Amino acid sequence: MRYLLCWLVLVPVVLTGCEEDVVSVLGTERAYTLYGVLNPKADTQFVRVYLIEQRLERTTPEPLDARFTSTDLTTGEVLVWRDSVVVDPDGGYGHIFWAPFRAGYDHDYRLDITGGDGRASSATIDVPEEAQPELGDPLIIPNVLLPVYVRGNVARLINTELSFLISYVNGFTATGTPLVRVDTLIVPYDDRVSRVSDGLLVQVNLTSAYREVIDLVRRDRDYEPAYGVDLRSVFFDAVVANEAWQPPPGGFDPNVLVQPGTLSNVENGFGFVGAGYRVQIRWRPPDTAMAQAGFRTFS
């Protein structure tokens, strides 16, 4: 049979399911597969655990015969995690170990799981420093650029997205009052992150965004171009991730990452436990910048 494994989708920081062929990990002496994220903005931490067995059989609803601990290598604090048995979409049972604590910014942690038979796996995770997004002054050269900085000793950003909240007229009432439609354009920005001397920079090209917005609204056959398009707000959303998030060529492709050992920091096991947290900021650019990019303000 096939078991459901988790891959990490940090939106905000949750575990979602994808499949792994268990045959690919049979015959190994490794003990456990671990998937999870340590999030300093969450008050409870979770790690999905799979026991690597030498035969294919359905898991049972009993807790694992295993002790799971976290050690804060910065302070020395040791916590024992609890096993929570969950039902997977295929009807099988899974194990999510959890502990109620907030991971410390810029702290290192070691996770250890040891079974009653003595088999053990572990992972060491460094949590990024605390950082916040900051807006820079708009630049017009000649495209309109909106700089977003994430300052500090930040290794990388992942799942970086910009959402453009727009509105436009797409019809009229019987008395001639314009009907305004509100829509959102979401643009991935992972490939537009660059490093600067004091952190990371995401350069938002508002002129390019306007062209994408126009392509979107023109699909509405009732769009009234004489009224233009209003940009109500821009929403920046990204995850500050630790250095261990080093995807293979092809980026964060679940079909690649699900292969055992492709991206792993688990000793004597498989899987990946990362660390990260979301950073977000919403703002309305200055009218002059929006007008230069092509937007019209008519709120």
pLDDT digits (tens, 9 = 90+) for 14-67: 333 343 444 345 556 789 999 999 999 999 999 999 998 755 455 678 889 999
Distance CA 19, CA 255 (A): 9
- Dihedrals phi, psi of 158, to nearest 5 degrees: -130, 165
| pLDDT for residue 43 | 97
With 50 as the cut, is the pLDDT of residue 276 above it?
yes
pLDDT in tens, 201-221: 999 999 999 999 999 999 988
* Integer Cα distance of 214 and 164 in angstroms: 12
pLDDT in tens, 100-132: 999 999 999 999 999 999 999 999 999 999 999
pLDDT band at 7, cuts 50/70/90?
very low
| Domain 3-128+243-275 top-level CATH class | mainly beta
| Confidence tier at 8 by pLDDT (50, 70, 90) | very low
With beta carbons less than 8 A apart as the criterion, state whether 49 and 271 touch: no
Paired tokens of 181 = 């439609």
Per-residue model confidence as pLDDT tens digits over 142-184: 899 999 999 998 999 999 999 999 999 999 999 999 999 999 9
Residue 82 has pLDDT above 90, yes or no: yes
Report the alpha-carbon distance of residue 52 to residue 37 in Å, rounded: 20
pLDDT at 264 > cutoff 90: no
The residue among 1 and 211 whose pLDDT is bigger is 211
The residue among 132, 189, 158 whose CA lies nearest residue 13 is 158
Per-residue confidence (pLDDT) for residue 262, from 0 to 100: 67
Residue 251 confidence (pLDDT): 58
If we measure between CA atoms, which residue out of 68, 69, 12, 58 comes closest to residue 37? 12
Query: Cα-atom radius of gyration of the chain, to the nearest Å?
Result: 24
Least confident of 169-178, 251-260, 284-293: 251-260
Mean pLDDT, rounded, for 253-264: 62
Rounded to an integer, the average pLDDT of 80-103 is 92
The predicted model gives 74-96 an average pLDDT of 92
pLDDT-based confidence at 249, cuts 50/70/90? low
